[in-house]
Amino acid sequence: MTEKQDTITLLAIESSCDDTAAAVIRNCKILANIVSSQEIHKEYGGVIPELAGRAHQQHILPVVKKALKEAGIEAKDLDGIAYTQGPGLMGSLLVGGHFTKGMCMALNIPSIGVNHLQAHVAAHYLNESMPNFPFLCLLVSGGHTQIIKVKAPLDMEIIGSTIDDAAGEAFDKTAKMLGLPYPGGPLIDQYAELGNPLAYQFPIARIEGYGYSFSGLKTSLLYFLQKGVKEDPDFIAKNLNDICASMRYTIVKTLLDKFEKAVKEADVKEIGIAGGVSANKLLRKEFEKLAAKNGWKAFIPKFEYCTDNAAMIAVVGHYKFLAGESTPLSALPFAR
C-alpha cells in the first residue's frame, strides 16, 4: 500500500452462498455492483453446497469482468481486492478466495479478507445518510439473526443471536412447507400482502436476554398444516395468503419485540437493519414505526445492498485498506 494516496480503488468479491457478486469501489463510492444469482437451487428447496461451488466457478470470471467494465476500470488500476472470507459454504468461499489470491498475486496488490456479517451491517455506510455511532443493528439474513452494537465503522459487538434457526430460514422453511420454491422469503412477503395477519395465531418464542429462536414456530406450522390438510386436502391453496400473512406477522413481531428491548437497554437513539430479510415489506414498515414511536432514527440500506452483494464487501474493504489492514496471501482463503 502506498503511504498516502488520493484515490483508493478496490475490487470486491462475494461468494459465500449462492450469489456470485463483484463490485468496484473508488473512494468509498460504488462504481459497479454486479450480482449473479444461482437459479439452480430453486428446484431443491434450498442451497446445495456442491452445486453452489461449481456455479461460482462458472460465474466468477464473467461477473468480475462485467464489474470492471461497468466501472470503467482496468485491473491494473486496482489498489487491492476485498473478498468474503466467511462465514459461508466452504466450497463457495474457496472459489472467491482463490480467485482473489490469484489476481492479487498477478497484480502485486493486497487482498483483504472480509467478514460477511460485518459487511451486511456496513451496507449502511453506502447510504447518503448513515447512522451515527453507536447504533444498534438488527441483522437478519438466511443464516444469521443477530443484534449488533456498532461502535465505530468496524467495531461491532454481537449482543444477541438466534439459538437455532435464522429469520431467513424461518421464512424459507415456511415456504418449503407450503410447497413454494427457494428462496421463499420474497414469495411469502408477496402473498402476505394479500392476507390477514391475524387469521391464525402462531407462538412467539420467549428466549432469555437478547436471544431468538424460530425452531418452535417451524414445528407449530408443521402441525397446523398437517391438521388443516387432513380436514381439507386443499387447505393450503385456499388459505395461502392468510397463512403467509400470519407467519410473516409472527416472525416480524418476534424480531422487533426483542430488538426494542435491546435498544432501550443499550440507550441508543439510532437503529439500523441489515441482511436479506430486511427486504421484507412488513419488517421495513414496522421498523420505521418502532423508531417513530420511541423517537429513534431508523436506517435501512438501499434494497440492492440488503441481500447478498459485493458492494457491502467493498465498503468494509475500503475501511480496512484505510486502516492499513490486509490478509496475507498465505492465509486460508476462508475463515475457520
Per-residue interface string for the shown chain with ligand KG4, residues 275-294, x marking contact by CB under 6 A: xxx-xx--------------
Name the minimum Å distance from CB 230 to ligand KG4: 28
Side-chain-side CA neighbours of residue 226 (13 Å): 6
Comparison of 78 and 273: residue with beta carbon closer to ligand KG4: 273
Name the minimum Å distance from CB 106 to Zn ion: 28
Among 263, 158, 172, 165, which residue's Cα sits nearest to residue 207?
A: 165
- Stretch touching ligand KG4 by CB under 6 A, among 51-59, 139-147, 214-222, 316-324: 139-147
Reduce the DSSP state of residue 98 to 3 states and report it. Answer: helix
Per-residue interface string for the shown chain with ligand KG4, residues 88-127, x marking contact by CB under 6 A: ----------------------------------------
Residue nearest ligand KG4 by beta-carbon distance: 276
- Stretch touching Zn ion by CB under 5 A, among 22-30, 64-72, 153-161, 306-314: 306-314
Q: Cell 431467513 belongs to which residue?
A: 168
172 touches ligand KG4 by CB under 6 A:
yes
Comparison of 8 and 170: residue with beta carbon closer to ligand KG4: 170
Give the one entry of ligand KG4, Zn ion, none that residue 280 binds, where binding means its C-beta sits below a cut-off of 5 to 8 angstroms depending on kind: ligand KG4
Name the minimum Å distance from CB 22 to Zn ion: 15
> Binding Zn ion by CB under 5 A: which of 141, 146, 213, 327?
141
> Binding ligand KG4 by CB under 6 A: which of 79, 165, 270, 308?
308
Q: Cell 437497554 belongs to which residue?
A: 265
17 touches ligand KG4 by CB under 6 A:
yes
Among 221, 208, 229, which residue's Cα sits nearest to residue 175?
A: 221
Phi/psi for 37 (5° steps) reads -90, 140
165 touches Zn ion by CB under 5 A:
no
Name the region of 106 (left: φ>0; alpha: ψ -120 to 50; beta: rest): alpha
User: Residue 36 and residue 244: Cα distance in Å, rounded?
Assistant: 28
Cell of 117: 456479517
Q: Cell 423508531 belongs to which residue?
A: 291
Name the minimum Å distance from CB 91 to Zn ion: 17
20 touches Zn ion by CB under 5 A:
no
- Stretch touching ligand KG4 by CB under 6 A, among 33-41, 141-149, 151-159, 196-204: 141-149
Say which residues have a Cβ less than 8 Å from residue 316's Cβ, sequence separation at least 6: 82, 112, 114, 115, 118, 119, 122, 154
Side-chain-side CA neighbours of residue 4 (13 Å): 0
Q: What is the DSSP string of 180-244?
A: PPSS-HHHHHHHHTTS-TTSS-------STT-B--HHHHHHHHHHHHHHHHH-TTHHHHHHHHHH
Q: What is the DSSP string of 7-43?
A: --EEEEEE-SSSEEEEEEEETTEEEEEEEEE-GGGGG
> Binding ligand KG4 by CB under 6 A: which of 45, 160, 185, 333?
185
- Stretch touching ligand KG4 by CB under 6 A, among 27-35, 180-188, 236-244, 289-297: 180-188
Rule CB under 5 A: which residues touch Zn ion? 141, 308
Rule CB under 6 A: which residues touch ligand KG4? 17, 141-143, 168, 171-172, 183-186, 189, 275-277, 279-280, 307-308
